[in-house]
Amino acid sequence: MNAPDQPILAWQEDGQQRQARWRSEAGWPAPARVQLADDRMPADVAFRLASEGTALLWRGDFQNARQLLQALGRRLDRPARKAVMASEPPAQAFYRHRQAQGRRARVLGMVLVEVDGDHGIRLRRAPDLRVAISEAWGPPDGLSHVVSLRECLGLVGAHEWRKAGVEVPALGPPPANRIHAHYGVFSPVRGEYLDLIGAAPLPADASLAWDIGTGTGVIAAVLARRGVARIVATDLNPRALACARENIERLGLQGRIELAEVDLFPPGSAPLIVCNPPWLPGKPSSTLEQAVYDPGSRMLRGFLAGLRERLAPGGEGWLVLSDLAEHLGLRSRDELLAHFHAGGLAVRGRLDVRPRHPKASDANEPFAAARSREVTSLWRLGAG
Protein backbone atom coordinates (compact mmCIF):
# COMPACT_ATOMS: atom_id res chain seq x y z
CA MET A 1 0.00 0.00 0.00
CA ASN A 2 1.51 3.32 -1.02
CA ALA A 3 1.45 6.29 1.33
CA PRO A 4 -1.07 8.33 -0.73
CA ASP A 5 -3.49 5.38 -0.55
CA GLN A 6 -3.25 4.98 3.21
CA PRO A 7 -5.97 6.47 5.42
CA ILE A 8 -5.17 9.01 8.09
CA LEU A 9 -5.67 8.37 11.81
CA ALA A 10 -6.26 11.53 13.87
CA TRP A 11 -6.27 12.05 17.63
CA GLN A 12 -5.96 14.76 20.30
CA GLU A 13 -2.74 14.94 22.34
CA ASP A 14 -1.43 17.71 24.60
CA GLY A 15 -4.19 20.01 23.40
CA GLN A 16 -3.20 19.60 19.75
CA GLN A 17 -4.59 17.71 16.79
CA ARG A 18 -2.21 14.91 15.78
CA GLN A 19 -2.35 12.57 12.83
CA ALA A 20 -0.39 9.76 11.18
CA ARG A 21 -0.85 7.22 8.42
CA TRP A 22 -2.92 4.20 9.41
CA ARG A 23 -1.47 0.84 8.42
CA SER A 24 -3.16 -2.56 8.65
CA GLU A 25 -1.93 -5.67 6.86
CA ALA A 26 -5.29 -7.29 7.62
CA GLY A 27 -7.09 -4.48 5.78
CA TRP A 28 -8.96 -3.24 8.84
CA PRO A 29 -10.29 0.31 8.57
CA ALA A 30 -8.80 3.04 10.75
CA PRO A 31 -10.55 3.06 14.15
CA ALA A 32 -13.14 5.81 14.57
CA ARG A 33 -12.26 6.42 18.24
CA VAL A 34 -8.74 6.77 19.63
CA GLN A 35 -7.79 7.23 23.29
CA LEU A 36 -4.28 7.68 24.65
CA ALA A 37 -3.21 4.98 27.08
CA ASP A 38 -0.18 4.26 29.25
CA ASP A 39 1.00 2.14 32.19
CA ARG A 40 -1.65 3.58 34.53
CA MET A 41 -4.57 2.09 32.61
CA PRO A 42 -5.98 -1.07 34.30
CA ALA A 43 -6.36 -4.11 32.08
CA ASP A 44 -10.11 -4.32 32.81
CA VAL A 45 -10.61 -0.74 31.59
CA ALA A 46 -8.50 -1.40 28.51
CA PHE A 47 -10.50 -4.55 27.78
CA ARG A 48 -13.81 -2.71 28.04
CA LEU A 49 -12.67 0.12 25.76
CA ALA A 50 -11.13 -2.20 23.18
CA SER A 51 -14.22 -4.43 23.17
CA GLU A 52 -16.37 -1.35 22.52
CA GLY A 53 -14.23 -0.36 19.53
CA THR A 54 -12.05 2.33 21.11
CA ALA A 55 -8.42 2.08 20.01
CA LEU A 56 -5.72 2.63 22.64
CA LEU A 57 -2.71 4.54 21.34
CA TRP A 58 0.05 3.52 23.71
CA ARG A 59 2.28 6.21 25.26
CA GLY A 60 3.79 4.19 28.11
CA ASP A 61 6.46 1.53 28.45
CA PHE A 62 6.70 -0.81 25.46
CA GLN A 63 7.14 -3.96 27.56
CA ASN A 64 4.14 -3.01 29.68
CA ALA A 65 2.12 -2.72 26.46
CA ARG A 66 3.08 -6.30 25.64
CA GLN A 67 1.93 -7.38 29.10
CA LEU A 68 -1.37 -5.57 28.56
CA LEU A 69 -1.83 -7.45 25.30
CA GLN A 70 -1.32 -10.74 27.15
CA ALA A 71 -3.84 -9.68 29.81
CA LEU A 72 -6.42 -8.87 27.14
CA GLY A 73 -5.76 -12.23 25.51
CA ARG A 74 -6.44 -14.06 28.78
CA ARG A 75 -9.77 -12.28 29.15
CA LEU A 76 -10.74 -13.19 25.60
CA ASP A 77 -9.71 -16.83 25.99
CA ARG A 78 -11.92 -17.54 29.00
CA PRO A 79 -15.20 -18.00 27.10
CA ALA A 80 -13.39 -19.65 24.19
CA ARG A 81 -12.35 -22.62 26.36
CA LYS A 82 -15.85 -24.10 26.35
CA ALA A 83 -15.84 -27.58 24.87
CA VAL A 84 -17.34 -28.06 21.43
CA MET A 85 -20.72 -29.80 21.72
CA ALA A 86 -20.51 -33.38 20.47
CA SER A 87 -23.82 -32.92 18.64
CA GLU A 88 -22.72 -29.73 16.90
CA PRO A 89 -21.95 -30.24 13.18
CA PRO A 90 -18.21 -29.84 12.50
CA ALA A 91 -18.76 -27.03 9.97
CA GLN A 92 -20.88 -25.06 12.46
CA ALA A 93 -18.28 -25.53 15.18
CA PHE A 94 -15.55 -24.42 12.78
CA TYR A 95 -17.38 -21.24 11.74
CA ARG A 96 -18.11 -20.42 15.38
CA HIS A 97 -14.43 -20.89 16.16
CA ARG A 98 -13.47 -18.59 13.28
CA GLN A 99 -15.88 -15.94 14.55
CA ALA A 100 -14.27 -16.13 17.99
CA GLN A 101 -10.83 -15.84 16.41
CA GLY A 102 -11.98 -12.81 14.44
CA ARG A 103 -13.31 -11.08 17.55
CA ARG A 104 -10.10 -11.88 19.41
CA ALA A 105 -8.01 -10.38 16.62
CA ARG A 106 -10.16 -7.22 16.50
CA VAL A 107 -9.96 -6.59 20.24
CA LEU A 108 -6.23 -7.26 20.48
CA GLY A 109 -5.72 -5.10 17.41
CA MET A 110 -7.02 -2.09 19.33
CA VAL A 111 -3.70 -1.57 21.18
CA LEU A 112 -1.73 0.72 18.86
CA VAL A 113 1.80 2.08 18.66
CA GLU A 114 3.21 4.90 16.56
CA VAL A 115 6.07 4.11 14.18
CA ASP A 116 8.16 7.14 13.24
CA GLY A 117 9.28 8.08 9.76
CA ASP A 118 12.58 6.18 10.22
CA HIS A 119 10.67 3.04 11.37
CA GLY A 120 11.70 3.63 14.98
CA ILE A 121 9.35 3.39 17.97
CA ARG A 122 9.96 6.05 20.60
CA LEU A 123 8.61 4.33 23.69
CA ARG A 124 10.47 3.41 26.87
CA ARG A 125 12.17 0.00 26.57
CA ALA A 126 11.12 -0.33 22.95
CA PRO A 127 13.46 -2.63 20.99
CA ASP A 128 14.99 -1.51 17.71
CA LEU A 129 12.54 -2.94 15.18
CA ARG A 130 13.67 -0.91 12.18
CA VAL A 131 15.12 -3.88 10.28
CA ALA A 132 12.05 -6.05 10.88
CA ILE A 133 9.68 -3.26 9.86
CA SER A 134 11.69 -2.38 6.77
CA GLU A 135 11.69 -6.02 5.63
CA ALA A 136 7.88 -5.97 5.65
CA TRP A 137 7.07 -2.39 4.64
CA GLY A 138 10.05 -1.43 2.52
CA PRO A 139 12.46 1.47 3.16
CA PRO A 140 11.34 4.29 5.49
CA ASP A 141 9.36 7.01 3.73
CA GLY A 142 9.77 9.71 6.39
CA LEU A 143 6.08 9.50 7.39
CA SER A 144 4.74 8.43 10.76
CA HIS A 145 2.44 5.40 10.87
CA VAL A 146 0.15 3.95 13.49
CA VAL A 147 -0.13 0.17 13.60
CA SER A 148 -1.53 -2.37 16.03
CA LEU A 149 1.03 -3.61 18.55
CA ARG A 150 0.03 -7.19 17.78
CA GLU A 151 0.86 -6.69 14.11
CA CYS A 152 4.11 -4.99 15.04
CA LEU A 153 5.12 -8.00 17.14
CA GLY A 154 4.20 -10.19 14.17
CA LEU A 155 6.81 -8.32 12.13
CA VAL A 156 9.41 -9.30 14.71
CA GLY A 157 8.39 -12.95 14.59
CA ALA A 158 8.52 -12.94 10.80
CA HIS A 159 11.99 -11.37 10.90
CA GLU A 160 13.28 -14.16 13.16
CA TRP A 161 11.71 -16.86 10.97
CA ARG A 162 13.23 -15.22 7.92
CA LYS A 163 16.70 -15.24 9.48
CA ALA A 164 16.54 -18.84 10.70
CA GLY A 165 14.74 -20.41 7.75
CA VAL A 166 13.13 -23.85 7.62
CA GLU A 167 14.99 -27.01 6.78
CA VAL A 168 13.41 -28.89 3.86
CA PRO A 169 14.77 -32.45 3.60
CA ALA A 170 13.24 -32.81 0.11
CA LEU A 171 15.81 -30.25 -1.08
CA GLY A 172 18.69 -32.49 -0.04
CA PRO A 173 21.15 -32.53 2.86
CA PRO A 174 21.97 -29.45 4.97
CA PRO A 175 23.10 -26.76 4.90
CA ALA A 176 21.84 -26.06 1.35
CA ASN A 177 18.24 -27.08 2.08
CA ARG A 178 16.75 -24.14 3.96
CA ILE A 179 13.87 -21.94 2.83
CA HIS A 180 13.52 -18.44 4.27
CA ALA A 181 9.98 -17.02 4.28
CA HIS A 182 9.37 -13.27 4.09
CA TYR A 183 6.69 -11.45 6.06
CA GLY A 184 3.25 -12.33 4.74
CA VAL A 185 4.49 -15.43 2.87
CA PHE A 186 3.56 -18.82 4.34
CA SER A 187 6.53 -20.81 5.59
CA PRO A 188 6.77 -24.51 4.53
CA VAL A 189 6.63 -25.75 8.11
CA ARG A 190 4.43 -28.71 7.12
CA GLY A 191 7.07 -30.66 5.26
CA GLU A 192 5.02 -33.77 4.60
CA TYR A 193 3.50 -32.32 1.42
CA LEU A 194 7.01 -31.61 0.13
CA ASP A 195 7.88 -35.26 0.72
CA LEU A 196 5.05 -36.10 -1.70
CA ILE A 197 6.51 -33.70 -4.30
CA GLY A 198 9.86 -35.42 -3.84
CA ALA A 199 8.43 -38.94 -4.16
CA ALA A 200 5.86 -38.72 -6.98
CA PRO A 201 7.09 -40.23 -10.28
CA LEU A 202 7.96 -37.52 -12.78
CA PRO A 203 6.32 -37.72 -16.23
CA ALA A 204 8.45 -39.00 -19.09
CA ASP A 205 8.92 -35.44 -20.30
CA ALA A 206 10.62 -33.56 -17.46
CA SER A 207 11.82 -30.67 -19.62
CA LEU A 208 9.35 -28.15 -18.16
CA ALA A 209 7.12 -27.76 -15.11
CA TRP A 210 4.89 -24.99 -13.80
CA ASP A 211 4.56 -24.25 -10.08
CA ILE A 212 1.23 -22.45 -9.63
CA GLY A 213 1.10 -20.15 -6.58
CA THR A 214 4.76 -20.58 -5.72
CA GLY A 215 4.87 -18.69 -2.39
CA THR A 216 8.39 -19.17 -1.04
CA GLY A 217 9.42 -20.98 -4.23
CA VAL A 218 9.96 -24.24 -2.34
CA ILE A 219 8.04 -26.54 -4.73
CA ALA A 220 9.85 -25.10 -7.74
CA ALA A 221 13.14 -25.67 -5.93
CA VAL A 222 12.27 -29.30 -5.11
CA LEU A 223 11.34 -29.93 -8.76
CA ALA A 224 14.63 -28.41 -9.89
CA ARG A 225 16.56 -30.57 -7.43
CA ARG A 226 14.74 -33.61 -8.87
CA GLY A 227 16.06 -32.83 -12.34
CA VAL A 228 13.27 -30.88 -14.05
CA ALA A 229 15.16 -28.82 -16.61
CA ARG A 230 13.09 -25.63 -16.45
CA ILE A 231 10.37 -24.41 -14.08
CA VAL A 232 8.04 -21.43 -14.40
CA ALA A 233 6.79 -20.38 -10.94
CA THR A 234 3.78 -18.06 -10.77
CA ASP A 235 2.22 -15.90 -8.08
CA LEU A 236 0.21 -12.68 -7.80
CA ASN A 237 1.67 -11.58 -4.46
CA PRO A 238 4.71 -9.28 -4.95
CA ARG A 239 6.02 -10.30 -1.53
CA ALA A 240 5.86 -13.96 -2.53
CA LEU A 241 7.69 -13.31 -5.78
CA ALA A 242 10.44 -11.37 -3.97
CA CYS A 243 10.70 -14.17 -1.40
CA ALA A 244 10.84 -16.88 -4.05
CA ARG A 245 13.48 -14.97 -6.00
CA GLU A 246 15.69 -14.67 -2.91
CA ASN A 247 15.35 -18.36 -2.05
CA ILE A 248 16.00 -19.47 -5.63
CA GLU A 249 19.13 -17.36 -5.80
CA ARG A 250 20.34 -18.59 -2.42
CA LEU A 251 19.94 -22.19 -3.64
CA GLY A 252 21.74 -21.41 -6.90
CA LEU A 253 18.73 -22.31 -9.07
CA GLN A 254 18.09 -18.96 -10.77
CA GLY A 255 19.19 -20.32 -14.14
CA ARG A 256 16.46 -22.96 -14.12
CA ILE A 257 13.50 -21.26 -12.42
CA GLU A 258 11.65 -18.33 -13.98
CA LEU A 259 9.20 -16.23 -11.95
CA ALA A 260 6.01 -14.81 -13.46
CA GLU A 261 3.48 -12.45 -11.87
CA VAL A 262 0.28 -13.96 -13.27
CA ASP A 263 -3.00 -15.33 -11.94
CA LEU A 264 -2.62 -19.12 -12.00
CA PHE A 265 -1.28 -20.20 -15.42
CA PRO A 266 1.38 -18.60 -17.63
CA PRO A 267 0.91 -18.72 -21.43
CA GLY A 268 1.45 -21.96 -23.29
CA SER A 269 1.41 -25.53 -22.00
CA ALA A 270 3.60 -27.80 -19.89
CA PRO A 271 4.05 -31.54 -19.34
CA LEU A 272 3.91 -31.09 -15.54
CA ILE A 273 1.81 -28.52 -13.69
CA VAL A 274 1.86 -28.47 -9.88
CA CYS A 275 -0.44 -26.59 -7.53
CA ASN A 276 -0.66 -26.53 -3.74
CA PRO A 277 -3.69 -24.25 -3.20
CA PRO A 278 -4.97 -23.09 0.20
CA TRP A 279 -6.52 -26.15 1.82
CA LEU A 280 -9.61 -24.68 3.51
CA PRO A 281 -12.56 -22.85 1.94
CA GLY A 282 -13.07 -19.60 3.80
CA LYS A 283 -12.22 -15.94 4.07
CA PRO A 284 -8.68 -15.10 5.23
CA SER A 285 -8.40 -12.53 8.02
CA SER A 286 -4.75 -11.62 7.39
CA THR A 287 -2.16 -11.65 4.64
CA LEU A 288 -0.63 -14.86 5.96
CA GLU A 289 -4.00 -16.63 6.07
CA GLN A 290 -4.33 -16.24 2.30
CA ALA A 291 -2.13 -19.35 2.07
CA VAL A 292 -4.57 -21.28 4.29
CA TYR A 293 -8.05 -20.05 3.31
CA ASP A 294 -9.39 -20.00 -0.26
CA PRO A 295 -12.63 -17.95 -0.52
CA GLY A 296 -15.18 -20.03 -2.38
CA SER A 297 -12.36 -22.45 -3.30
CA ARG A 298 -11.50 -19.98 -6.07
CA MET A 299 -7.91 -21.10 -6.60
CA LEU A 300 -8.73 -24.80 -6.38
CA ARG A 301 -11.62 -24.52 -8.85
CA GLY A 302 -9.65 -22.25 -11.19
CA PHE A 303 -6.72 -24.66 -11.30
CA LEU A 304 -8.91 -27.69 -11.99
CA ALA A 305 -11.04 -25.87 -14.57
CA GLY A 306 -8.05 -24.68 -16.59
CA LEU A 307 -5.61 -27.54 -16.12
CA ARG A 308 -6.60 -29.84 -19.01
CA GLU A 309 -6.23 -27.29 -21.80
CA ARG A 310 -2.78 -26.29 -20.50
CA LEU A 311 -1.35 -29.78 -20.17
CA ALA A 312 0.98 -30.89 -22.94
CA PRO A 313 -0.06 -34.21 -24.57
CA GLY A 314 0.42 -37.01 -22.03
CA GLY A 315 1.19 -34.48 -19.30
CA GLU A 316 0.19 -34.56 -15.63
CA GLY A 317 -1.18 -32.08 -13.14
CA TRP A 318 -0.26 -32.56 -9.49
CA LEU A 319 -2.76 -31.25 -6.97
CA VAL A 320 -1.48 -31.21 -3.39
CA LEU A 321 -4.40 -31.01 -0.97
CA SER A 322 -5.26 -31.95 2.60
CA ASP A 323 -8.62 -33.57 3.35
CA LEU A 324 -9.02 -31.56 6.59
CA ALA A 325 -11.82 -29.55 4.91
CA GLU A 326 -13.72 -32.82 4.44
CA HIS A 327 -13.42 -33.77 8.12
CA LEU A 328 -14.59 -30.28 9.10
CA GLY A 329 -17.63 -30.49 6.82
CA LEU A 330 -16.44 -27.63 4.62
CA ARG A 331 -16.08 -29.68 1.43
CA SER A 332 -16.97 -33.29 0.59
CA ARG A 333 -14.90 -35.80 -1.33
CA ASP A 334 -17.74 -36.01 -3.86
CA GLU A 335 -17.45 -32.25 -4.47
CA LEU A 336 -13.73 -32.56 -5.11
CA LEU A 337 -14.23 -35.45 -7.52
CA ALA A 338 -16.98 -33.47 -9.25
CA HIS A 339 -14.48 -30.64 -9.86
CA PHE A 340 -12.14 -33.20 -11.45
CA HIS A 341 -14.93 -34.44 -13.71
CA ALA A 342 -16.07 -30.93 -14.66
CA GLY A 343 -12.51 -30.09 -15.70
CA GLY A 344 -12.28 -33.17 -17.94
CA LEU A 345 -9.67 -34.75 -15.67
CA ALA A 346 -8.98 -38.34 -14.71
CA VAL A 347 -7.09 -39.55 -11.64
CA ARG A 348 -3.92 -41.40 -12.69
CA GLY A 349 -2.74 -42.04 -9.15
CA ARG A 350 -2.57 -40.66 -5.63
CA LEU A 351 0.09 -40.50 -2.94
CA ASP A 352 -0.96 -40.01 0.68
CA VAL A 353 0.86 -38.98 3.84
CA ARG A 354 -0.22 -38.36 7.42
CA PRO A 355 0.69 -34.99 8.95
CA ARG A 356 3.55 -34.72 11.43
CA HIS A 357 2.90 -31.24 12.82
CA PRO A 358 2.16 -30.87 16.59
CA LYS A 359 -1.55 -30.04 16.14
CA ALA A 360 -2.17 -33.45 14.58
CA SER A 361 -1.64 -35.17 17.95
CA ASP A 362 -2.72 -32.39 20.34
CA ALA A 363 -5.83 -33.58 22.18
CA ASN A 364 -6.47 -30.02 23.41
CA GLU A 365 -6.60 -28.59 19.89
CA PRO A 366 -10.16 -27.31 19.14
CA PHE A 367 -10.64 -29.75 16.25
CA ALA A 368 -8.49 -32.63 17.45
CA ALA A 369 -10.85 -35.30 16.10
CA ALA A 370 -10.71 -33.88 12.57
CA ARG A 371 -6.97 -33.35 12.66
CA SER A 372 -6.36 -36.89 13.90
CA ARG A 373 -7.93 -38.21 10.68
CA GLU A 374 -6.28 -35.73 8.29
CA VAL A 375 -4.45 -37.04 5.23
CA THR A 376 -2.51 -34.94 2.73
CA SER A 377 -2.65 -36.22 -0.84
CA LEU A 378 -0.87 -35.58 -4.11
CA TRP A 379 -3.43 -36.26 -6.84
CA ARG A 380 -1.90 -37.15 -10.22
CA LEU A 381 -4.34 -35.83 -12.79
CA GLY A 382 -4.42 -36.19 -16.55
CA ALA A 383 -6.82 -35.56 -19.40
CA GLY A 384 -9.95 -37.67 -18.96
Per-residue pLDDT of the chain (384 residues; tens, 9 = 90+): 444 568 999 999 999 999 999 999 888 999 999 999 999 999 999 999 999 999 999 999 999 999 999 999 999 987 654 544 456 788 988 888 889 889 999 999 999 999 999 999 999 999 999 999 999 999 999 999 999 999 999 999 999 999 999 999 999 999 889 999 999 999 998 889 999 999 999 999 999 999 999 999 999 999 999 999 999 999 999 999 999 999 999 999 999 999 999 999 999 999 999 999 999 998 887 777 888 899 999 999 999 999 999 999 999 999 999 999 999 999 999 999 999 999 999 999 999 999 887 776 777 777 888 888 999 999 999 998
**Which of the 8 DSSP states describes residue 344?**
T
Best CA proximity match to 34, nearest among 102, 111, 126: 111
Q: b or e along 92-114 (b: 16 or more beta carbons within 10 Å of the residue's beta carbon)?
A: ebbeeeeebeeebbbbbbbbbbb
Q: Which of 213, 220, 218 is nearest to 237 (CA)?
A: 213
